[in-house]
Amino acid sequence: MTTTEETGSLPARRETDGPWSEGAAALRGPGDGLNIAWVALDRHVADGHGEDIAIRWRAKDAPGRDLSYADLAGMAGRFADVLTQAGIGRGDSVFSLLGRVPELYAVALGTLKAGMVYTPLFAAFGPDPIRTRMEIAGARVLVTTGAIYRRKIAPWRRDLASLEHVFVTGEDVPDGCIALGPALAAADPGFRAVPCTADDPALIHFTSGTTGRPKGAVHVHGAVAYHAYSGRVALGLAPGAVYWCTADPGWVTGTSYGIIAPLVHRVTMIVDEAEFDLDRWYGMIGRERVAIWYSAPTAIRMMMRAGDAAAEPYDFSSLRFLASVGEPLNPEAVTWSARVFGRPFHDNWWQTETGGIMIANLPGDEVRPGSMGKPLPGITAAILDTTGPAVAELGAGEVGELALRPGWPSLMRAYLDEPARYAKCFRDGWYLSGDLARRDTEGFYWFIGRADDLIKTSGHLVGPFEVESALVAHPAVAEAAVIGLPDPTAGEIVRGYVTLNPGFQVSDDLERDIRGHARRLLGPAVAPREIVFRKTLPRTRSGKIMRRLLRARELGLPEGDISTLETDET
């Protein structure tokens, strides 16, 4: 990866002061340096809060255990010591391939503490996506389980010369691996966090691969100021709050708001090892008295699909704030959640590249169902026409590319090994998101779709989200994905793919009924010409519908990079 020679840090993008700079002095250390792990853990221990509970870990099949801030600081210190003793150096790459287990947090924060660069991957990835990403980053260390190692790493390990150490959790320790538990037990919990600079690389997160080959976005230690700021302003994180982030550890949300922001704010995090299970989730909220809940549209749609009655036996009285990210949140889901939980989900928008929440329905503000909300104070957003030689700002109501003015500290500093792709994200002083949106006269932003997903039909520009929301509003429809297919007269025609709620059967009548419903809501020009029933829709492991794959399959085109594909049943 490209680094400046003397410091090992990335060339700085110019940062500007903003509301994230207020109180940033408290978020420095150790000493005059900066280290995310110190800010998230050691600082609290030094301030006398070591006994506060950082994590209530709920194991898949057992009660689990609680970890205090002091426990976690010690575990992270031990892992930092293990890495350093193993000869791993500052700026070196450490990967994790783990579920939501206590070791994950020790590895993430221990790597940061040692001044090394942390990358989490989805534990469910197959061997190829793991290998490609570790090759790109020149991984020196991997932490995983014995079972994952045997199936997914061992077959190619010898080919990745950079990979020196593989640590495994648990009792099953394959040949060539080191048992993590005993290594931690023998290490020094008091390892001092390495003082880094704000521009030192800390994290590499791979994008979800929804639109193409995933990119490795590089983030720096200075990003912590924005994690802290956005966690407070957009999620309402505060000391002692019980907070549950359901994101997978392999996705950027799992680190920015599943580790860093909550710990910096000294909250108590609920960490559930298990995957989504309706009764388990509903029960968790009441049992753990969850106050702040950060989840994603896929999960919300699964809950909706189960119906209101499934939620009735549960106690949601502890909930104070609900937020959602990752995909457009259909207005239907907002009103449903307000009815069932007594509070609406607040949509917010950001990307792997932005490192933190950019646009949000903030706590305390009116929620506009279907809108992503407004830019956080200090963030300058715009809707741009990026089709001409120079970018031009568009006015209220116009659809264009959503862009942000660089200057906040968690903006990526590079795409690993892809300087040209990185350079293309910046034009005329703007960071271009690749998403299309519009802003209304009151400043709310509305998501239209990925620039690549926009449909041009009979002279109209159609954003898939608007059509999908209309389809989901039909009682039979659980999920919808909308694409454009080439058509000699219309340019493109709109086709909708839907999955059905329980109790509904595929039939021609139902197809006609859904089409009629969409036509009534959207008008004939925009409504889908055809509805196709599917058992599932192709989605990434972070839960995003892969429209490009539906389109490629329909047209018999190459499928492109499908390394992050999760569901694949037709």
Query: Which of 293, 294, 349, 444 is close enough to bind ligand ATP by CB under 6 A?
Result: 349
3-state DSSP call for residue 7?
Answer: coil
3-class secondary structure per residue, 518-561: HHHHHCCCCCCCEEEECCCCCEECCCCECHHHHHHHHHCCCCCC
Q: Which residues in the 405-424 window bind Mg ion by CB under 5 A?
A: none
**Torsion from C-alpha of 255, 256, 258, 261, nearest 10 degrees:** 130
Query: Does residue number 373 form part of the binding site for ligand ATP (CB under 6 A)?
Result: no
3-class secondary structure per residue, 83-138: HHHCCCCCCCEEEECCCCCHHHHHHHHHHHHCCCEEEECCCCCCHHHHHHHHHHHC
| Residue appearing with tokens 């290998």 | 131
Query: Does residue number 372 form part of the binding site for ligand ATP (CB under 6 A)?
Result: yes
Of the pair 327, 479, the CB lying nearest ligand ATP is at 327
Query: Which of 199, 248, 272, 347 is close enough to bind ligand ATP by CB under 6 A?
Result: 347
Q: Using CB distances below 5 to 8 A depending on partner kind, what does residue 433 bind out of Mg ion, ligand ATP, none?
A: ligand ATP
What letter would DSSP give residue 342? S
Q: Which range, of 176-184, 268-276, 347-355, 378-386, touches ligand ATP by CB under 6 A?
A: 347-355
Q: Using CB distances below 5 to 8 A depending on partner kind, what does residue 327 bind out of ligand ATP, Mg ion, none?
A: ligand ATP
CB 303 within 8 A of CB 280: no
Task: Give the residue from 466, 450, 329, 353 showing the smallest Cα distance to 404.
Answer: 353
**Spatial separation of the C-alpha atoms in residues 542 and 545, rounded to whole Å:** 9
Of the pair 50, 463, the CB lying nearest ligand ATP is at 463
Q: From the CB of 403, what's the least distance to Mg ion, in Å? A: 14
Q: Which range, of 118-126, 201-209, 302-310, 546-554, touches Mg ion by CB under 5 A?
A: 201-209
Of the pair 336, 465, the CB lying nearest Mg ion is at 465
CB 143 within 8 A of CB 119: no
HSE toward the beta carbon, residue 535, CA cutoff 13 A: 4
Q: Which range, of 37-45, 183-191, 205-213, 265-273, touches Mg ion by CB under 5 A?
A: 205-213
Of the pair 246, 351, the CB lying nearest ligand ATP is at 351
- Tokens representing 477 are 């429809």
User: Residues binding Mg ion: what is the number (CB under 5 A)?
Assistant: 1
**Spatial separation of the C-alpha atoms in residues 297 and 257, rounded to whole Å:** 16
Query: Which of 71, 81, 103, 327 is close enough to bind ligand ATP by CB under 6 A?
Result: 327
Of the pair 41, 372, the CB lying nearest ligand ATP is at 372
Q: From the CB of 529, what's the least distance to ligand ATP, in Å? A: 25
**What residue type is assigned to position 111 of the chain?**
T
Q: Using CB distances below 5 to 8 A depending on partner kind, what does residue 325 bind out of ligand ATP, Mg ion, none?
A: ligand ATP
DSSP string, 212-261: SS--EEEEEGGGHHHHHHHHHHHH---TT-EEEE---TTSHHHHIIIIIH
Of the pair 67, 296, the CB lying nearest Mg ion is at 296
Q: Using CB distances below 5 to 8 A depending on partner kind, what does residue 255 bind out of ligand ATP, Mg ion, none?
A: none
User: Residues binding ligand ATP: what is the number (CB under 6 A)?
Assistant: 24
Long-range contacts of 488-493 (CB under 8 A, 24+ apart): 489/458, 490/457, 490/458, 491/456, 491/457, 491/458, 491/459, 492/455, 492/456, 492/457, 493/457, 493/529, 493/530
Query: Does residue number 328 form part of the binding site for ligand ATP (CB under 6 A)?
Result: yes
Q: Which residue is nearest to Mg ion (CB)?
A: 207
Q: Give rounded-to-5 percent helix, strand, coil for the chain.
A: 30, 25, 45
From residue 152 to residue 191, the character string flagging contacts with Mg ion as x (rule: CB under 5 A) and all else as - is: ----------------------------------------
Of the pair 57, 321, the CB lying nearest ligand ATP is at 321
Q: Using CB distances below 5 to 8 A depending on partner kind, what does residue 347 bind out of Mg ion, ligand ATP, none?
A: ligand ATP
Q: Using CB distances below 5 to 8 A depending on partner kind, what does residue 542 bind out of Mg ion, ligand ATP, none?
A: ligand ATP
Distances (CA, A) of 468 to 336, 474, 494, 545: 16, 10, 11, 11
- Asked, as a colleague might, if the bond just before 30 is cis with ω within 30 of 0, I would say yes
Spacing of C-alpha 241 from chain mean position: 21
Query: Does residue number 468 form part of the binding site for ligand ATP (CB under 6 A)?
Result: no
Distances (CA, A) of 93 to 81, 195, 309: 15, 18, 48
* Residues facing residue 117 across a β-bridge: 93
Query: Does residue number 544 form part of the binding site for ligand ATP (CB under 6 A)?
Result: yes
Q: Which residues in the 223-282 window bind ligand ATP by CB under 6 A?
A: 252
Query: Which of 450, 515, 534, 541 is close enough to bind ligand ATP by CB under 6 A?
Result: 450
Q: From the CB of 225, what's the least distance to Mg ion, in Å? A: 23
From residue 382 to residue 421, the character string flagging contacts with ligand ATP as x (rule: CB under 6 A) and all else as - is: ----------------------------------------
Query: Which of 35, 68, 169, 208 is close enough to bind ligand ATP by CB under 6 A?
Result: 208
Q: From the CB of 297, what's the least distance to ligand ATP, in Å? A: 8
**Spatial separation of the C-alpha atoms in residues 318 and 341, rounded to whole Å:** 10
Q: Which residues bind Mg ion (CB under 5 A)?
A: 207
Q: Which residues bind ligand ATP (CB under 6 A)?
A: 207-212, 214, 252, 325-328, 347-349, 351-352, 372, 433, 435, 447, 450, 542, 544
